[in-house]
Structures are given as C-alpha cells and as structure tokens.
Amino acid sequence: MASWTSLSPSIVEYFEGEDFYRCGYCKNESGSRSNGMWAHSMTVQDYQDLIDRGWRRSGKYVYKPVMNQTCCPQYTIRCRPLQFQPSKSHKKVLKKMLKFLAKGEIFRRNCEDEPMDSTMEDTVAGDFALINKLDIKCDLKTLSSDLKESLESEEKKKEKSSKREESHSQAIEEKLGSGEPSHSIKVHMAPKPGKGADLSKPPCRKAKEIRKERKMLKLMQQNPAGEFEGFQAQGQAPSAFPPKTKSNHPKSLEDLIFESLPENASHKLEVRVVRSSPPSSQFKATFQESYQVYKRYQMVIHKDPPDKPTVSQFTRFLCSSPLEAENPPNGPECGYGSFHQQYWLDGKIIAVGVIDILPYCVSSVYLYYDPDYSFLSLGVYSALREIAFTRQLHEKTSQLSYYYMGFYIHSCPKMKYKGQYRPSDLLCPETYVWVPIEQCLPPLENTRYCRFNQDPEAVDQGRSKEPDRVRVFYKKAIMPYGVYKKYQKDPSEEAAVLQYASLVGQACSERMLLFRS
C-alpha cells in the first residue's frame, strides 16, 4: 500500500465523447453523450476534485456527461449529513428494520421510495463494448515499465523537498497536538444497551397516548382519587403529557438506527466495511458470497439473463477501482479509497454498498442486495446507514462532512428520490458551485438543462487558465503540454488535450499525468 508521502500520481487516458449512445434512463437509443477517461491510477484528492466538477467513476472508467447535449442531464448531488434529519418515511424504514430484527416481523407492502438501488451505471451501460475495449487497450502493463522509470527519477528529485515539507507539517501537527475540534458539531452516537426504547411496546402510539391523557384528565376532574389510581394500575405514567417532552428532543439518526434490541431478538444485523481495492483479506474471503448476491440482484431486480452478471463484469464495475489506498495519520481509521460495506444478517451477506471514502466525503457508488429481503427497503436503509457512517468519520476527520449520492436526474422519476435526503445541494454545471436543491427545482420544472448559479457574471474559478502546464506522459518522459505540443502537428490532438484540460480543471491538469501514445 502506498504511503501518504510517496503516492504515484494519477495516470489517465482521455477519450472524447464523439458519439451519442443509448440512454439508460429514458431509453433513447441515441440520446446520451459523455466524455470519459480510463484511469490507471488516481489519488483520492484528484478524484474528489473531479467529482466536484461533475465527473463520476464506473470501475476504472471516469466519465462526465455532456450536460447541455445529453438527453437526461445528470447533476451531481450531495447531502449534508451533519444537518440531516430523517423524514417520516425514513423513520418508517428504520422502525421496520428494528421490528424485523427484534420480532422477525415481515412487511410485504411495496415501498414507493425503495431506491438507492441505482441502475447499473446507466450513463455508460449503453456501451459496454467501449469499456471492454478500453480495459484491454489501456492495460497498465503497456505503461508500467516506462512510467515507473520516469516516476522514480521525478520522485527522487522531489524527495528532499517533500521530506522538508513533511518535517514542517509534523512540527505544526505537534504544536497543534490533539486540538482538532472534532466535537464542534455534536453527533449523537448509539445509546448504551438498556437505554434505548423498549421494542416490546407497540411503536407509534402518539395518538393513542393523547386520547388516554384526555381521558385521564377527565377522570381526575371527576374523581381524582379512585379513578386515577385505577388508570395508573394499567401501567401508565402519572406524569402528564410525556409525548410533548419527547417531541422537543427528536431522536437522532443514530438513536433510530442503533436502538437497543431485546436479548431474545429474532435476528442480528452487522455492517462491516472491507477494503475492495487493493482487496483486503476479508474482501477476498467473502468475494464469492458477495458475487452471488450481486448476480441474484441483477437477475431479479434488473432482469439480466443468467449469463450476463459474470464474475468479470462484477469485478470490472464494482471491485476494480483506480483509487490509491491512502492512510494519512489525520484521516479516518479505515483510510481513504474504495470499500464494500457489507450487511450481514445472521451470518450471511444480504446487501453490499459500494462506496468511496474521499478527503471531504463518502461517495455512494452502487448498492446490490438479496431480493428475498426487498421488504426491508434496503435501498433507503443503506443510504441512511451511509449518512450515519459519514457522520461517524467526521468525528475524527472534521473536513469529511458530505455524502455524495451520484447523479440527480430531475427528468427521470426513478432518480428523483435522491432529492428526499435533505439538506442537499446540486452542482452548477457551468460554474461548479453548490446550490441548495430548493433553489434548483423550480427551473428544472421548466427545462432539463439549467445553470443554477444565479450570478450571470460568475465563471468557473477552477477552469484551465494555463493549458501549457498540463502534465503529459509521452515517450517515456513526463513533460508539460507546452513542450509536448512541439512534437505534435495534428490539430485534433491539440483540441483533445485542451478539451481535457477544460473539463478536469487547472489543478487536476497540473497534478495528473495525461498519457499520450
């Protein structure tokens, strides 16, 4: 595993989105369009900056929809977990899970808000052949020997300066000690055993309790002694209006998720986070079981034929990742990179959330689950668990405070559910600033493509201003584009590099290596 101070740079090959292809959302046969690049490796900071410019990964393929041309514009959406309060429907899902765990109760009703069940990378699903070609064409072996030599020589030059920077950072860190204000935003954790609500009592009794309180007051007025004592004998508290006290202090998300279960609970649920890239020993040990859940999910939920959800497809899209594993001392205990969040029920995997942990966020990639447990609304439940997980990571790593849910597509009813996790923001496709979703929805009712930034003078602050500084890897050497273009007379080559620079922005274009053959 790469150390924090000796990470390889991001290495990408860029491909222009020349052709339109089938849209996975509206099923238009030639309506979708995106630009993409194959990432041989990528630092988590580069990927964080890219998704903040509208990019998204599918395996090692990183793509950006051409927003003003594609049939279903896809807006990057993020939730703000630190201010998140579960809605009434969210609470119902959490209570349903608790009832199932505690008593084995099963609800077979259809859930309207089931998703977080994102369709299989729909923006690129229309062209699996392209991804397969790139997978072969961009084999890292074709680059490894030449690139390693160049990187080693470049790293040696930087070694002395980086060591000085590291010692300087350590000195600052020592001065700061453990003074990171991780408690600045209070996050309620799970209640201790015995202090949660008693699941043996029927939930949602608010209306019934109010009626009993009214009856109690009436009885007290009639005969405070005898009648009231009889009422108390039924197990009711003598204090008046306890529900009002509770309503003043609503339960936190964690209180609802980790509510105490009785000792004789029917089921046990455990959530494990395992690193998927590079694969950890736990990931390898559970690979086959996890794949079988994925296969059943694709066949039952997405109606795939039995031969389509292959091991190679599963590996390529949900296990392979370009993200380098990073474990800085000030980062989360599990480190940064790509992970599978496995949901174990009574010793077997019933669902897996594929996530990336980045410097400022947890990014949800995909969810698949055993269709036999659809009644638990695992799409919604996993999203709420991932929000709670983000809050947990924030306690140690204060800058990690967002939950990215992929793309919000207002024109697709199936994908609008993501807007139910509030507060949330959408990314302006022109200036790349975050705008509260409440401000974005009215214009989206009138037109599919919108610039959310209301300031007409605002521009993309991270745009490519000095394309000659783009880092290029060409003929065993790393060079700025200003040098590389002297070797190239093809005008289409210049157009491609400039387009790449404009899409990734100045910062990434100077850090990442653009491979050119």
User: What average pLDDT does range 148-158 have in this prediction?
Assistant: 66
User: What average pLDDT does range 51-77 have in this prediction?
Assistant: 96
**Contact assessment for residue 465 and residue 506, using Cβ atoms and an 8 Å cutoff:** yes
In-domain check, residue 43 = yes
**Contact assessment for residue 357 and residue 393, using Cβ atoms and an 8 Å cutoff:** yes
Burial of 478 (0-12, 13-18, 19+ CB in 10 A): middle
pLDDT at residue 167, as a whole number: 54
Among the residue ranges 132-141, 156-165, 325-334, 411-420, the one predicted with the least confidence is: 132-141
pLDDT at residue 189, as a whole number: 40
User: What average pLDDT does range 130-134 have in this prediction?
Assistant: 54
**Contact assessment for residue 228 and residue 219, using Cβ atoms and an 8 Å cutoff:** yes
In-domain check, residue 68 = yes
Q: How far is CA 194 from CA 102, 188, 262, in A?
A: 14, 16, 9
Q: Give the separation between CA 67 and CA 64, rounded to whole angstroms.
A: 8
User: What average pLDDT does range 70-86 have in this prediction?
Assistant: 97
For 308, other C-beta atoms within 10 Å of its C-beta total 14
416 band by pLDDT with thresholds 50, 70 and 90 = confident
pLDDT over 50 (residue 123): no
Torsion angles phi and psi, residue 361, rounded to 5: -160, 165
Residues whose CB is less than 8 angstroms from the CB of residue 469 and which lie 6 or more positions away in sequence, other chains included: 480, 481, 482, 506, 509, 510
**Contact assessment for residue 445 and residue 487, using Cβ atoms and an 8 Å cutoff:** no
In-domain check, residue 154 = no
84 band by pLDDT with thresholds 50, 70 and 90 = very high
pLDDT at residue 350, as a whole number: 98
Where do runs of H (alpha helix) occur along 60-127?
Answer: 88-103, 122-125
| Token pair listed for 512 | 């990442």
In-domain check, residue 143 = no
| Token pair listed for 201 | 């009592």
pLDDT at residue 69, as a whole number: 94
pLDDT at residue 517, as a whole number: 84
Bond prior to 115 in cis (omega within 30° of 0): no
**Contact assessment for residue 514 and residue 471, using Cβ atoms and an 8 Å cutoff:** yes
Question: What is the DSSP-derived secondary structure letter of residue 331?
Answer: S
pLDDT at residue 24, as a whole number: 84
In-domain check, residue 225 = no
pLDDT over 70 (residue 229): no
pLDDT at residue 25, as a whole number: 87
Q: Is 341 helix (H, G, I), strand (E, B) or coil?
A: strand
Q: Which structural domain, as residue segments, surrounds residue 447?
A: 11-134+253-467+491-501
Q: How far is CA 14 from CA 11, 72, 184, 517, in A?
A: 10, 23, 42, 11
pLDDT at residue 248, as a whole number: 65
Q: Dmax over Cα atoms in the chain, in whole Å? A: 100
In-domain check, residue 424 = yes
pLDDT over 50 (residue 395): yes
pLDDT over 70 (residue 154): no
Would residue 259 be called left, alpha or beta, if left means φ above 0 and alpha means ψ between -120 and 50 degrees?
beta
Number of domains into which the chain is organized: 1
Question: What is the DSSP-derived secondary structure letter of residue 373?
Answer: G
What pLDDT, in 10s, does the model give residues 233-282?
333 333 333 444 445 678 999 999 999 999 999 999 999 999 999 999 99
| Token pair listed for 229 | 């004592």
Torsion angles phi and psi, residue 130, rounded to 5: -60, -45
pLDDT at residue 4, as a whole number: 39
Return the higher-pLDDT residue of 354 and 137: 354
Mean confidence (pLDDT) of the chain: 82
Extended beta strands in 17-155, E state: 34-41, 56-58, 61-65, 75-79
Q: Give the separation between CA 378 and CA 97, rounded to whole angstroms.
A: 9
User: What average pLDDT does range 413-418 have in this prediction?
Assistant: 86
Q: Give the separation between CA 448 and CA 465, rounded to whole angstroms.
A: 29
User: What average pLDDT does range 78-93 have in this prediction?
Assistant: 97
- Beta-bridged to residue 62, according to DSSP, are 37, 57
Return the higher-pLDDT residue of 403 and 186: 403
Extended beta strands in 193-232, E state: none
Task: Give the relative orientation of helices 88-103 and 378-396 as an angle to the nearest 10 degrees.
Answer: 100
What pLDDT, in 10s, does the model give residues 476-502?
899 999 999 998 878 889 999 999 999
| Token pair listed for 435 | 């705008």
In-domain check, residue 397 = yes
What pLDDT, in 10s, does the model give residues 425-471?
999 999 999 999 999 999 999 999 999 999 999 999 999 999 999 99
| Token pair listed for 69 | 């041309």
Among the residue ranges 20-29, 121-130, 334-343, 370-379, the one predicted with the least confidence is: 121-130
What pLDDT, in 10s, does the model give residues 182-223?
333 333 344 444 444 443 444 444 565 556 656 655 555 554
**Contact assessment for residue 278 and residue 336, using Cβ atoms and an 8 Å cutoff:** no
Among the residue ranges 138-147, 380-389, 486-495, the one predicted with the least confidence is: 138-147
In-domain check, residue 240 = no
pLDDT at residue 193, as a whole number: 40
pLDDT at residue 242, as a whole number: 41
Strands 471-474 and 348-357: unpaired
pLDDT at residue 218, as a whole number: 57
pLDDT at residue 345, as a whole number: 98
